[in-house]
Amino acid sequence: MKAYFLRHLSITILACILIAGCNGLKITKPMLSMAVASSNKLSTALTFADSCEKKTALPYVMGGSPSQVVDLYYAPSDIRKGVLLIDIHGGFYVAGKRENNRTFASAFLRDGFDMALLEYRLNDGTLDVQDELGDCAAALDYLASNAPALGLDRSRMFLTGDSAGGHLALYMAEGAENPAMPVRPLTFRPRGVMLNCPAYDFASFSNPAGFTQGTLEWFIGPRYEDKAWLESMSPRTFIGSYTGPLFVSTCKNDFIRDQSMLIKADCDSLGRSMVLVDIVADSKKVGHVHNVINLSLPESVMVNDRMKEFMESAL
């Protein structure tokens, strides 16, 4: 409970800071640093995932950064479905750790789904979202190319991501079908993609009126004023490239709910189907990425059950 409270508080602080910036209150780097430091603290609480067979800190870039690794968890053999769900954590591009999503992974491992928790290098004023996307592409290609040796079926792999991780996951799914995209996986192709409270229109997050230059250079990257580059890194630019199954969850108290509704509007305009789960609960606990950080809520259980049903229906 303490671990959940601290993570929920850190995400709430980060959300409030970013909302304020988007609404015109000038946000400085020290203000954002405070939230990031809290969000990056690892939970040491044991989870069901920790009791499963696992391979941790698998490097997907030889000789790379300690952040360029993936953790692989196998569901118990008696219920194992042979389906892998690859999770890309959020943290608005500057925060988050794969290990903090072990509780989220546990909800799927208990029902027979294998889980991969993907780590990537975070924005630091030099690295930016293009580097993060490159890391994700390398990790996904590593899992696909080494599937037999890892005991996986590359044709039964799904992607999920929350918040900024939703941006990264959707962009990877689009890139798997579009060879013209700037960053893309070469051997990986997901069976479907599931986004929880995702960032979508990346260009809209570069707001000089709300953030100082130093904050934007860290939060967005040094090319925060380059609109063409921002659009080239945005999943919205390439939404027509992805033709596979698509699931999106959001809620009334998701501070970037408009991003999910924009995905729905764009899919409607393209005449393509998607699954949208929009929770209308008034409780403040049912907020941004609630189904990832507070799995005991009935609404969280419902969203995660819908994700499992989505995967089963796409096989």
Residue 5 has a CB neighbour count (10 Å cut-off) of: 10
Residue 67 has a CB neighbour count (10 Å cut-off) of: 15
Q: Of 20-29, 76-85, 228-237, 292-301, which range is least confident? A: 20-29
Domain 51-314, CATH homologous superfamily name and number: Alpha/Beta hydrolase fold, catalytic domain (3.40.50.1820)
As a whole number of angstroms, the distance between CA 128 and CA 284 comes to: 32
Backbone angles phi, psi at 305, to 5 degrees: -65, -40
DSSP 271: T
pLDDT of residue 3: 44
Which whole-number Å values give the CA distances from 141 to 128, 146, 173, in the listed order?
20, 8, 12
Task: Name the band, by pLDDT with cuts 50, 70 and 90, for residue 95.
Answer: confident
- Chain mean pLDDT for the chain: 89
Higher pLDDT, 125 or 312: 312
What is the mean pLDDT of the segment spanning 106-127?
Answer: 95
Instruction: Please check the confidence at residue 240 and state whether its pLDDT lies above 80.
Output: yes
What is the mean pLDDT of the segment spanning 224-229?
Answer: 94
Which whole-number Å values give the CA distances from 57 to 49, 169, 185, in the listed order?
15, 20, 20
DSSP 163: T
Task: Name the band, by pLDDT with cuts 50, 70 and 90, for residue 91.
Answer: confident
Instruction: Please check the confidence at residue 28 and state whether its pLDDT lies above 80.
Output: no
With a threshold of 0.75, does the pTM exceed it? Answer: yes
What is the mean pLDDT of the segment spanning 49-67?
Answer: 96
Do residues 289 and 96 lie in contact, with contact meaning Cβ atoms separated by under 8 Å? no
In 3D, which of 93, 265, 83 has the Cα closest to residue 190? 83
To 5 degrees, how large is the angle CA 10–CA 291–CA 120?
Answer: 60
Beta bridge partners of 70: 58, 118
Instruction: Please check the confidence at residue 79 and state whether its pLDDT lies above 80.
Output: yes
Residue with tokens 């009791």: 51
Instruction: Please check the confidence at residue 30 and state whether its pLDDT lies above 80.
Output: no
Residue 128 has a CB neighbour count (10 Å cut-off) of: 23
To 5 degrees, how large is the angle CA 256–CA 167–CA 110?
Answer: 95
Instruction: Please check the confidence at residue 115 and state whether its pLDDT lies above 50.
Output: yes
Q: pLDDT digit string (tens) for 138-157? A: 999 999 999 999 999 999 99
Residue ranges covered by each domain of the chain: 51-314
Instruction: Please check the confidence at residue 225 and state whether its pLDDT lies above 80.
Output: yes
In 3D, which of 129, 127, 212 has the Cα closest to residue 163? 129
As a whole number of angstroms, the distance between CA 118 and CA 68 comes to: 8
pLDDT of residue 220: 87
Do residues 174 and 126 lie in contact, with contact meaning Cβ atoms separated by under 8 Å? no
